[in-house]
Amino acid sequence: MSDGLAGEAAALDAADVLRAKRAEFVLDGGDGSEGAAGAEGTVYLDGNSLGALPRAVPGRLADVVAREWGQLRIRSWAESGWWTAPERTGDRIGRIVGAAPGQVVAGDSTSVNVFKAVVAAIRLAEEDGGGRDEVLVDAATFPTDGYIAESAARMTGCRIRAVEAGDIARAAGPRTAVALVNHVDYRTGRLHDLPGTTAAVHATGARVVWDLCHSAGALPVGLDAHGVDLAVGCTYKYLNGGPGSPAYLYVRRDLQPRFDTPLPGWNSHADPFGMSPGYTPADGSPRGRVGTPDILSLLALDAALDVWDGVDLTAVRAKSLALTDFFLRCVDAYVPAGKAGPLTPAAHAERGSQVSLRCASGAAAVMAELARRGVVGDFRRPDVLRFGFTPLYTRFADAEHAARVLAEVLGR
């Protein structure tokens, strides 16, 4: 059975329309031309936590440091395009998440952007009238979203109500100002219904903020197409921007003139170098900026986004589903019954680009042993093994290899 799946993996890799993309990343196990995965090193299935290094980054960053900072110094704010990098990079992210130019700006952390988005959405609701004072949050949210939403509610006189993401559509009502929902659950890998939830929340007159951390770069998001109000996300997972690379904020174009930020830093001023004591917000996506952007991290991200040029997100999604389907089949075939089973839904419409397995016992030790044997995923308390599948560089052979090693570790 093992030979069958390994052979199938080789055939799937040979037919993969995205296979050439792997060569644009620094990975063990070569550029995709080898047959067996992992023979030369690590199989990296943790790109849903920290994406692998794109080959374009080191050279570009070295040039930013040595020439743009070291030689041009202050002139680079204008001459090297530093000042406009947040919106320029934002537009590149926009293409990946289905946003037309001028609506996404890169900068700050996801947490800080959640704060901007939730407070701004509450203020939109206030302006719309009707006494809406409820902030709905997805009960299984990545914790920071919940903590920040709680702070946003506290500072605006609202209250938080936590419900399962799948119930947000039903829970929203006349008191709801905004719902903050994760597109893909970080723990289970469950994909939530963005179009349906957005429409349902809108039908009650409320706003919705989507957290795209675990979906951007893994599947088509369609922010514009589905009329999303605001969205945030990080760039260090499937977008491969590097550790802690700048996050982003999407504000739908028609809402931008009403976007009233709680963090009106000088970079979001209509005339930042006017140094005016009064705040006048900029038009467009720069209204979501705050202070001086981390240029080194931001330009590393910009270089990392080169790998997306010409990439069709439909192909990415197709490969992602094929990879996770295949991994689930391998796990089912190799792993002894009762040792570990999928937490991630089987239905494609409910699956992101990771597979989470609930491990019957000793999950942390199992993941540590997997890493020792060259298969890198991660562990989430109390019993979850997470494996991320980055369609641009993960091979079917990697999936087969990881399942095989997992079965060995679990004592086949």
Decide whether 266 or 321 has the Cβ nearer to its own copies.
266
Q: Which is nearer to its own copies, 91 or 294 (CB)?
A: 294
Minimum CB distance to its own copies, residue 126 (Å): 13
In the complex, least distance from residue 405 CB atom to its own copies, rounded to whole angstroms: 17
| Catalytic annotation, pick one of 252, 386, 395, 404 | 386
- Residue 31 catalytic? no
Complex with its own copies: residue 82 or 238, whichever CB lies closer: 82
Alpha helices (runs of H) in 16-129, residue ranges in sequence order = 56-63, 76-79, 85-97, 110-128
Q: Which of 25, 44, 236, 259 is catalytic?
A: 236
Identify which of residues 76 and 356 has a Cβ nearer to its own copies in the complex: 76
Q: Smallest distance from the beta carbon of 147 to its own copies, in angstroms?
A: 4
- Tokens 């990771």 map to which residue? 354
- How many other CB atoms are found less than 10 A from the CB of residue 286? 22
- Least Å distance between CB 47 and its own copies? 9
Closest distance to its own copies from the beta carbon of 136 (Å) = 14
Query: Active site includes 283?
Result: no
User: How many angstroms separate the Cα of 164 from the Cα of each of 7, 143, 148, 169, 314?
Assistant: 41, 14, 18, 10, 28
How many Å apart are CA 331 and CA 374, to the nearest integer? Answer: 17
The residue type found at 137 is V
Q: How far is the CB of 409 from its own copies (least distance, A)?
A: 18
Q: Is 387 a catalytic residue?
A: no
E strand intervals along 115-201: 134-138, 159-163, 176-182
230-233 and 248-251: which strand pairing?
Answer: antiparallel
Q: Name the catalytic one among 91, 211, 229, 383.
A: 211
Question: To which H or E segment does residue 250 belong?
Answer: strand 248-251
Tokens representing 240 are: 């491969």
HSE of 392 in the Cβ direction (CA atoms, 13 Å)? 30
Sign of CA dihedral 302, 306, 312, 315: negative
CB of 56 or CB of 333, closer to its own copies = 56
Q: Which of 207, 237, 339, 404 is catalytic?
A: 237
Q: Write the DSSP string, 371-390.
A: HHTTEE-EEETTTEEEEE--
Give, for 211, the enclosing helix (H) or strand (E).
strand 207-211
> Is position 326 annotated as part of the catalytic site?
no
Catalytic residue among 25, 142, 327, 393: 142
How far is Cα of residue 55 from the mean position of the Cα atoms in its chain?
20
**Quick one: 52 or 397, whose CB is closer to its own copies?**
52
Q: How many CA atoms lie within 13 A of 108 on its CB side?
A: 25
Question: Helix (H, G, I), strand (E, B), or coil: what is residue 178?
Answer: strand
Shortest CB 236 distance to its own copies, Å: 7
User: What does each C-alpha distance from 352 to 99, 150, 331, 344 come to in angstroms?
Assistant: 20, 26, 18, 8
| Known catalytic residue at 386 | yes
Nearer to its own copies by Cβ, of 101 and 147: the residue is 147
Q: Would you please indicate which residues are annotated as catalytic (active-site) residues?
A: 142, 211, 236-237, 386
